[in-house]
């Protein structure tokens, strides 16, 4: 298979041409030349775009993804980085599960109002303290979150 123009790469990968140009600017992909005004890419760009998509879906930043490629363009993925991201995803899943369970409880809680429901109030305190829904947590917020999410009375109304 020969080089693909940017429109063909966009069609096959589902990645808009503007994103392809941005990825090239960031050094994530490289064009092989031009045909008229259109950039050309080698056929291996489709696999590289799939790796970028997988990294994005896993929550890696573009800068982190860029580090996953050797200077020659071949994948060079550090296994410890993958394990660390998997641990981070596990934490996120736990947090989202707690939030989902709290919302389901609040939806069916027999308390006259949500503000009278101990479970809802606990979630409210956790959110107010930045223990849930905060992108970066200080050590104090992490301890508070752990205490609020593992409170022994958390299942009682």
| pLDDT score, position 24 | 94
Helix residue ranges per DSSP H, 14-154: 17-26, 45-57, 62-66, 79-108, 118-128, 139-149
Q: What mean pLDDT do residues 22-36 have?
A: 93
Contact (Cβ atoms closer than 8 angstroms) between residue 79 and residue 40 = no
CA Rg, the chain, in Å?
23
pLDDT in the model for residue 46: 95
Percent of the chain with pLDDT over 90: 48
pLDDT of residue 85: 95
Query: What tens digit of pLDDT does each residue of 46-83 get?
Result: 999 999 999 999 999 999 999 999 888 889 989 999 99
Rounded CA separation 143/72 (Å): 44
pLDDT above 90: residue 102: no
Evaluate if residue 137 carries a pLDDT over 70: no
pLDDT at 156 over 60: no
Structure tokens at 124: 């409210």
When pLDDT is averaged across residues 93-106 and rounded to a whole number, the result is: 86
Fill in the DSSP letter of residue 138: -
Phi-psi label, residue 27: left if phi above 0, alpha if psi -120 to 50, beta otherwise: left
Separation CA 144–CA 126 (nearest Å): 8
pLDDT of residue 152: 40
């Amino acid at each position: 298979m020969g080089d693909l123009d940017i429109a063909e790469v966009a069609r096959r990968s589902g990645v808009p041409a503007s994103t392809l140009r941005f990825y090239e600017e960031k050094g994530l992909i490289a064009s092989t030349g031009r045909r008229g005004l259109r950039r050309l890419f080698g056929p291996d760009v489709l696999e590289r775009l799939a790796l970028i998509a997988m990294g994005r879906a896993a929550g890696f930043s573009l800068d982190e993804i860029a580090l996953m490629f050797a200077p020659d363009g071949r994948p060079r993925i550090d296994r410890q980085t993958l394990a660390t991201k998997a641990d981070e995803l596990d934490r996120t899943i736990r947090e989202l599960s707690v939030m989902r369970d709290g919302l389901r409880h609040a939806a069916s809680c027999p308390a006259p109002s949500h503000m009278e429901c101990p479970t809802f109030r606990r979630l409210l305190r956790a959110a107010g303290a930045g223990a849930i829904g905060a992108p970066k947590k200080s050590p104090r917020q992490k301890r508070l979150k752990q205490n609020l999410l593992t409170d022994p009375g958390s299942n009682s109304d």
